[in-house]
A and B are shown apart, each in its own frame.
Chain A
């Protein structure tokens, strides 16, 4: 059976079966990364463009590695120039790319909905690599793959997501994914960083101790220091004292808790170094799984079947 979606715009539109298919495919493909010759011809002759309107180290290099392993021809365009402040519009850029007939465009953009805009106006398949504060679906998928490998399941897990929920696309994608797969999510952060109405989707607490209590996994979100001017909290010092993940606080979780972070870390702000580098941390596993999940997404959207990958 082939994968039923043409684009990956977010986790929200996916069925649990779609998520399962991507994770199973990633599990199957991950083995290639351990081979001495890390290359298969699965996507030979296919062209993928990575179009990044925001700086990114992890996500972009992860997509690039995934594309190379699968033998796709790929090209990365990085621009810090917003499409509107100067120069070409996003649509003009996309139409120029379209004229070169790529099979897929992987896009990261500061405007929520930019991938939907491209999907509506262009012929190529679109993968959302992070749009504004909306979604970052491959991050949630790699988090889920990591959880599933370590815990053997997603259903019934208690997962705390802690930090700047307001600006976080990672939090939104994870909320969708975990709730669709039957995990329990609890959100935590200072009230100024909790978005309106989110209580309707998952319980919220302002006390990190309460969020962590009995958790199977804790996902820490990055505090974007450049947003400090927004007056969301008084100081990073107080943030760390009240909302940071410290060794003391980790003890409230289950013994086999997993500590996750999408990176890049602000050590000493949202997470203490002892925790980030400690025994529960799976932060580097997340990076490896990122490549596997992106291989799976490329492979499925460009016509591969989940069965063939295993």
Chain B
């Protein structure tokens, strides 16, 4: 097993309150020592001067598409994209074909990821069988097979009764229930946010209330049941407010936000002339919603940044806006977008961003990692804050090219990703 000494980088580990120039020694797949002038003890030394060394980033919301839609993404390509984007672990959403609602499917994902995955893969099982919103899937078996949470992502749980049972039952196995909050009766045929922009474009919109009312429902149900709720891709001011109030009352609730909801608004649909790369669910919202989500990120209401990486084929997107698939890829742009548009722009400081990408995701889903404390998995993300590069979808590792950020010039990129002490991505030389 390789021994590596990361020498002289700015080490940021929010879990230990570290932000200092230090060395990090990894061996046998674990962090062995973090400190000033660590002796190499035969380890290969890598010069980290001018770079930032962080605990590995974890994406709690990824669509790997395998099994079933390998034309969009595979575990191999999706995890290579993750590594290139600075992630050492991803949580795989269950809306595959078939839906990951059974231990057999979970096991096949785990095995495939072990054989072909460039980073760690933590499967998320379905809340209900087939994600049809009716009968609970077998949480005990799913947990034992390796699922870290349950979610019917993309297929919102319409029934409050089913959501209540899920939150209750999941407690027995320590599973988090991740909900895509949306009232389907308000979002029928909708393809963007409802507001003045959808009015101008003549596109059917979904009102922000359609999300927020389900967030409020779920937060109340989490309080009622004592269950553990995680709200996926928060996109509205009222949703942030629900989570904030729920947390203040002691509900066991956490939340995530995506880079696209933090950085773009529904104006992007108009400015791009109906570019289908601006179509996702939840949709890009108004500026006041965007600002509220950023505020929620700053004050801790929102616990982590997640990508909602949703790769699609060109054919799924190169159609009329109404007909296009929902979703954008994110694994290879999220970190650079956050560095350039949130840290450089002084919205967040760097240790806080590292917490949102690493410490907190690990805590939210109870995953290993998220810290460089000795004994932790040697999952490390190294950033070069000075690296400047243009987003070029043609060079993505992901099969998906569907990003609204193509052509953006960003400063600050991940340059080295270690998973269990092995190099999963090396971009140290530009």
- Which residue numbers of A lie inside 8 Å of B, CB to CB? 12, 83-84, 89-91, 109-114, 116-117, 120-121, 131-135, 169, 172, 195-198, 200-201
Contact = CB atoms under 8 A, between A and B. Distances in A.
Nearest to B207: A196
Given A83-B323, A111-B323, A196 B194 contact: yes
B209 to A, nearest CB: 11
Given A12-B200, A196-B205, A196-B207, A111 B195 contact: no
Contact of A112 (B202, B315, B318): B202
B199, B207, B315, B319 — most chain A CB neighbours (10 Å): B199
Interface in B297-351: 315, 318-323
A196 B200 CA distance: 10
B196 A134 contact: no
A196 B322 contact: no
A197 B322 contact: no
B203 interface: yes
Q: Which of A89, A169, A197, A201 has the most CB of B within 10 A?
A: A197
7 contacts: A84-B319, A84-B323, A133-B204, A172-B202, A197-B199, A198-B199, A201-B200
B273 interface: yes
B320 A109 contact: yes
A196 B198 CA distance: 8
Contact of B196 (A132, A169, A197): A197
A200 B286 CA distance: 14
B409 interface: no
Given A91-B319, A112-B274, A135 B202 contact: yes
A84 B202 contact: no
Contacts of B201: 112-113, 134
A110 to B, nearest CB: 8
A109 B274 CA distance: 14
Interface in B167-203: 194-203
B274 A116 contact: yes
B195 A196 contact: yes
* Residue with the greatest number of chain B CB neighbours at <10 A, chosen from A110, A117, A132, A169: A117
Contacts of A111: 320-323
A195 B192 CA distance: 14
Contact of B321 (A89, A113, A121, A135): A113
Query: Which of B198, B200, B318, B320 is packed against the most chain A CB atoms within 10 Å?
Result: B320
Nearest to A176: B200
Q: Identify which of B205, B315, B322 gathers the most chain A CB atoms within 10 Å of its CB.
A: B322
A133 B203 CA distance: 7
Contacts of A110: 322
A116 B319 CA distance: 11
B196 A196 contact: yes
B322 A91 contact: no
A114 B319 CA distance: 8
Contact of B200 (A109, A120, A131, A172): A172
Contact of A131 (B194, B197, B199, B202): B202
Given A83-B323, A112-B203, A113-B273, A200 B318 contact: no
Nearest to A112: B202
Contacts of B200: 12, 172, 201
Nearest to A82: B323
Given A113-B203, A197-B196, A120 B273 contact: yes
Interface string B262-298: 0000000000011000000000000000000000000
Contact of A197 (B195, B203, B315, B321): B195
A236 B202 CA distance: 24
Contacts of B274: 112-113, 116-117
A84 B194 CA distance: 24
A169 B194 CA distance: 17
Nearest to B275: A120
A109 B323 CA distance: 12
B202 A133 contact: yes
Contacts of B205: 196
Contacts of A90: 319-320
A246 B188 CA distance: 35
A154 to B, nearest CB: 21
Given A116-B273, A196-B195, A200-B196, A91 B318 contact: yes
Interface in B363-379: none
Nearest to A175: B200
Contacts of A134: 201-203
A113 B205 CA distance: 15
A200 B321 CA distance: 25
- A12, A114, A196, most chain B CB atoms within 10 A: A196
A195 B190 CA distance: 14
A132 B191 CA distance: 13
A243 B99 CA distance: 49
Question: Which 7 A-B residue pairings sit nearest by Cβ, starting from the closest?
Answer: A197-B196, A134-B202, A113-B274, A133-B202, A111-B320, A112-B202, A195-B199
Contacts of B320: 83-84, 90, 109, 111, 113-114, 117
B199 A112 contact: no
Contacts of A172: 199-200, 202
A112 B274 CA distance: 8
Given A84-B320, A90-B320, 17 more contacts: A83-B323, A89-B315, A91-B318, A109-B320, A111-B320, A112-B202, A113-B201, A113-B273, A113-B320, A113-B321, A117-B319, A121-B318, A132-B203, A169-B202, A195-B198, A196-B198, A201-B196
A251 to B, nearest CB: 32
